Amino acid sequence: MGRLQLQVTITNHGSETLTIVRDPSGVLSSTYQTPKFTISPADGKKDPPRFKGVKVKFSPQKAAELGMTVVIGPGQSTRTPIEHDCK
């Protein structure tokens, strides 16, 4: 099994500071380290890629109250490395 490694960069091109909630299904979260993709060869002999994950109940308001946020000032960026297990 291999690892698919991605890095997501979000840049604030505006003039105001942004506070963004880390939604568990969004690109800023690596909370759930589950096998999320099954990758198959292009020869068509195996099943196509399938999503595997988790279902969670999420409250953006509660997450913000708990400090599950990222603050990005004007001209600043944030990077989030994301890794997925691949079969």
More confident residue, 7 or 48: 7
Tell me the residue type at 4: L
Of 7, 6, 8, 15, nearest in space to 76 by CA:
15
The span from the CA of 16 to the CA of 21, in Å, is 16
List the domain boundaries for the chain.
2-86
pTM for the model stands at 0.58
In tens, the pLDDT along 22-50 reads 887 676 666 665 544 555 566 766 665 56
